[in-house]
Amino acid sequence: MPPDGRFPSLDEGVSFAERYGGTNAIALSLRLHRPVRTEPQHHYCAFLSGWYLCALPLRLSTQTLCLAIVTERESITRLHLTLLGLLSQTVSHRYRESLLSRTPEHPPVRLSAQQRAVLLCLARGMTERAAAAQLHLCEDTVKYHKRNLFRIFSAPCSVSLVVKALQSGAFSLEEIGV
């Protein structure tokens, strides 16, 4: 490995998707959802022709990542496989810890029942008149709550209001039928 610590010919932006580099352990592992090992003779792409790869998919929350060991001119050994297993446990554990300790990007917002009902109507794309009819409120009451919602979420328009409210966790997409 060169003194700068970078793997030869592995530059930022390189994709291991099969459509770009051919069959490889990383793409197969992500597609098959299981560990995969490949050797140089398995690759038809010159870029991977000297590489031994072993990849392990990691299901983290809502995304799947891939942890891989790549060697050049040296076959994957039991030591590499053990290292990959230990790394996967460490990565999974640290990721879970980071999720538990993460503070929300936007602090939770407390809304009254009517403010929340008006917000949900706006999120569904309803007009003030339609929201008033559905909620059995006066149209001026809906406008009052809408103004307060703009202030609470520092939003200049209804679209921005809905986006900011969704990001803050004030409602979920399931609540509006999306």
Q: Mark the ranges of the chain whose per-residue pLDDT is less than 50.
A: 1-2
Q: What pLDDT digit, counting tens, does each position of 65-104 carry?
A: 888 888 888 898 889 888 888 988 888 888 777 766 665 5
For the chain, give every domain's residue range: 18-101, 113-176
Considering the four listed CATH numbers 1.10.287.3510, 3.20.20.70, 3.30.365.10, 1.10.10.10, the one that applies to the domain covering 113-176 is 1.10.10.10
Q: Of 72, 64, 69, nearest to 87 (Cα)? A: 69
Average pLDDT of the chain to the nearest whole number: 83
Q: For position 150, what pLDDT does the model report? A: 95
Q: For position 11, what pLDDT does the model report? A: 62
Q: For position 1, what pLDDT does the model report? A: 45
User: Check: CATH 3.30.450.40 for 18-101?
Assistant: yes
CB-CB contact of 24 with 16 (8 Å): yes
DSSP string, 84-125: HHHHHHHHHHHHHHHHHHPPPSS------HHHHHHHHHHHTT
Q: For position 89, what pLDDT does the model report? A: 87
Phi (first) and psi of residue 138, to 5 degrees:
-75, 145
Residues contacting residue 68 through CB under 8 Å, at least 6 positions apart: 25, 26, 29, 53, 54, 55, 56, 84
Coil/strand/helix, residue 157:
coil
99: left (phi over 0), alpha (psi -120 to 50) or beta: alpha
